[in-house]
Structure 1
Amino acid sequence: MLPEKEVKQTVPLESSQSKDKGKKPVRMFQPQKKKPKVKSDNQNFTGYMFISPFLIGLFALTLFPILYSLYLSFTDYDLMGTPNWIGMDNYVRMFTNDPTFWTSMKVTFFYAGVAVPFRLVFALLVALALNKIVEMAGLYRTLLYLPSVVGGSIAIAIMWRQLFGNEGAINSILAGLGLPTHPWLGDPDTAIWTLIILYGWQFGSSMLIFLAGLRNIPKTYYEASSVDGASPLRQFFIITLPLLTPVILFNTIMQVIQGFMAFTPSFVVTNGGPVNSTLLYVLYMYERAFEYFDMGYASAMAWVMLIIIAIFTALIFKSSEHWVHYEGDSK
């Protein structure tokens, strides 16, 4: 039982509550809902100012030139006067009345078809070797990546021209060994191969991507297969190659695009010769635009190459459903 004093104290409380019946209870310290802050015009303007360099570059330096080149591909334009609309004449002329176009197409397909697999295979082999190296691995990666940093420059192309010239280092070495020399850049059968070797020599970026993919393969897979008696060659085909297929897909697409867009080696080393045996597509497009001032025709050539690259990229992506294996794939 409660003490008498506490019972007496409860009576006035009950009576006071009964008197206040019908009145709305007053809530003390009622929390107020915060209204969502609306960004002011100044804040929006500041945001647009920060992204304005990207927007200017996107519209002024990317979208507008692309759309304008599409318009020029249907015109006769010599960079001096006003574009003259001629419809599909550039495309008809390209496919029916320009044998040099087909020569450049043939050279480019051969160049990309040989140089791209050569670079990918060589880069993968170097990545496999680097993956086994523990000491000074960073130094080796840097040294092997250097050709890709400087390989696309004019200076390297000039050096390559000197190496394979008639009196260059390659022929000097052959002569010193008592072997017959050869005009590597003057022979139509060997000139294109000098450019292919130069393309394969710039394997650094592909090598680093392959190496990153190899480092992500768990070592437990190799340990388990070794217990089962798998040889290193079998491990490569049943573990390394399947798990590396996403990286192979990425490298293949990037190298195919670069192979079709190659320009500097053909322009500097051989200038398309001899007898157009190294006349790559982009070099011929450059000649039509800036030597013959046939910008409308060159724009049409650019769009044909864009369509070709898009088709090859789509085919590679489509075929990847059958040979690319992703982690967690249920197939």
Structure 2
Amino acid sequence: MTDDRPAAGRGSRKARRFTRRDLLVLGLLLGLPLLLDVLVVWGPTLASVVLSFTSWDGIGDISWVGTENYANLFTNYPAFWPAVRHNLLWLAFLGLVAAPFGLLLAVLIDRGVRFSRFYQSTLYMPVVLSLAVVGFIAQLVFSRDQGALNALLGNTEHPTDWLGDPDLNLWMVLLAAVWRHTGYVMILYLAGLKAVDQTLKEAAAIDGASETQAFFRVVLPTLRPVNVIVGIITVIESLRAFDIVYAINKGRNGLEVLSVLVTDNIIGEASRIGFGSAIAVVLLLVSLGFVATYLIQELRGESKR
């Protein structure tokens, strides 16, 4: 007897060919986002790199000046190095305060405390607010005359100018930024903790490890992918800080950061697009340097495992 049924694996099923309509839909779905990405992200980025070597006020002719903008930036622009210091301080504060505190909150909530859903929602709520809104809230809290902090401390007769004093305002703004960033870090680590294999914890407990030892020796190493994400987000958040300081005092009097300098030079009263583009390129290189270094270290750590 012969088997008339088509044998599997003998090409009985023909490969489906894409029709012209399928190709058109794929082209739209892939082409439009790619086009928007080029126009909105990569186009302005490359344009900024080119303009950083020119002198242009946005109206007249563009003149090529080479590395003159960078030389003036590093030597003859007094606001540059304080802004760099403030951005690095921002990075250190978010990395050493907000990230560990977010991890601590995630661990506490992961243990199944009562009202955990309420805590998650409450602590994550600041994340849905833009940094500009956080800046306005900071003004309500730290204002000299009608601020909630002075009223709470009883400093109504001799109020402290939390946002006007250049020795204090940066720290107050950093507290507001930490308040927002902690909830984001908490949610990321909480998702990572939910994915940890419980058998690893049980094996550590059987071996006699305490909860603290099990966390640092078993749980935390498994959170390496989350650590990478948290590290990258922390670097990006610290280097792109703009909205909150601009909402408070337009990034002046002790709140200077690199992104504010870019805005002041490009769309300020004395428009210096070439010089502002040079600051933007420096900010781009610094952010890429941090991200690339962190990723290389994490990838090397993964390859050694």
- For residue 142 of structure 1, the aligned residue among 105, 114, 121 is 121
TM-score w.r.t. length of structure 1 = 0.80
- For residue 257 of structure 2, the aligned residue among 268, 276, 280 is 280
Give CA-to-partner distance per residue, 1:181-228, whole Å, 9 cap, x none. Answer: 522112222211111111110122221110011111122222333333
- For residue 219 of structure 2, the aligned residue among 229, 236, 240 is 240
Determine the C-alpha separation between the residues in 2 that align with 1:56 and 1:313: 25
> Aligned-pair RMSD on alpha carbons?
2.8
* Alignment correspondent of 2:28: 49
Q: Is the 8 A contact 2:134 2:176 kept in 1?
A: no
Q: Is the 8 A contact 1:267 1:283 kept in 2?
A: yes
- Call closer, same or farther: CA 1:32–1:217 in 2, change over 3 Å: closer
- For residue 99 of structure 1, the aligned residue among 72, 75, 78 is 78
- For residue 129 of structure 1, the aligned residue among 108, 113, 121 is 108
Determine the C-alpha separation between the residues in 2 that align with 1:61 and 1:228: 55
Determine the C-alpha separation between the residues in 1 that align with 2:41 and 2:226: 28
What is the one-letter code of the residue matched to 1:225? A
Give CA-to-partner distance per residue, 1:129-181, whole Å, 9 cap, x none. Answer: 1101265433332222111001x2423311211211112100100007x9975
TM-score w.r.t. length of structure 2 = 0.86
Work out the percentage of aligned pairs sharing the same amino acid. 26
Q: Is the 8 A contact 2:134 2:244 kept in 1?
A: no
Give CA-to-partner distance per residue, 1:256-298, whole Å, 9 cap, x none. Answer: 1111111011111243342xx2201111111111113111111
- Call closer, same or farther: CA 1:134–1:164 in 2, change over 3 Å: closer
Determine the C-alpha separation between the residues in 2 that align with 1:121 and 1:33: 58
Q: Is the 8 A contact 2:133 2:244 kept in 1?
A: no
What is the one-letter code of the residue matched to 2:247? V
Partner of 2:167, secondary structure, is helix
Determine the C-alpha separation between the residues in 1 that align with 2:212 and 2:299: 25
Determine the C-alpha separation between the residues in 2 that align with 1:65 and 1:253: 22
What is the one-letter code of the residue matched to 2:241? A
- Call closer, same or farther: CA 1:140–1:132 in 2, change over 3 Å: same
Q: Which has the larger radius of gyration?
A: 1
Determine the C-alpha separation between the residues in 2 that align with 1:267 and 1:32: 65
State how 1:178-197 maps to structure 2 within 5 Å.
181-197=159-175
The answer to whether the aligner puts 1:317 opposite 2:304 as a matched pair is: no
Determine the C-alpha separation between the residues in 2 that align with 1:145 and 1:75: 44
* Structure 2 residues not aligned, in runs of 5+: none
* Alignment correspondent of 1:112: 91
Determine the C-alpha separation between the residues in 1 that align with 2:157 and 2:227: 39
* Alignment correspondent of 2:239: 260
Q: Is the 8 A contact 2:261 2:279 kept in 1?
A: no
Determine the C-alpha separation between the residues in 2 that align with 1:183 and 1:95: 32
- Call closer, same or farther: CA 1:224–1:37 in 2, change over 3 Å: closer
Work out the number of aligned pairs and report it: 296
Determine the C-alpha separation between the residues in 2 that align with 1:220 and 1:47: 44
The answer to whether the aligner puts 1:297 opposite 2:275 as a matched pair is: yes
The alpha carbon displacement at 1:53 in A equals 2.4
Determine the C-alpha separation between the residues in 2 that align with 1:34 and 1:174: 78
Q: Is the 8 A contact 1:146 1:204 kept in 2?
A: yes
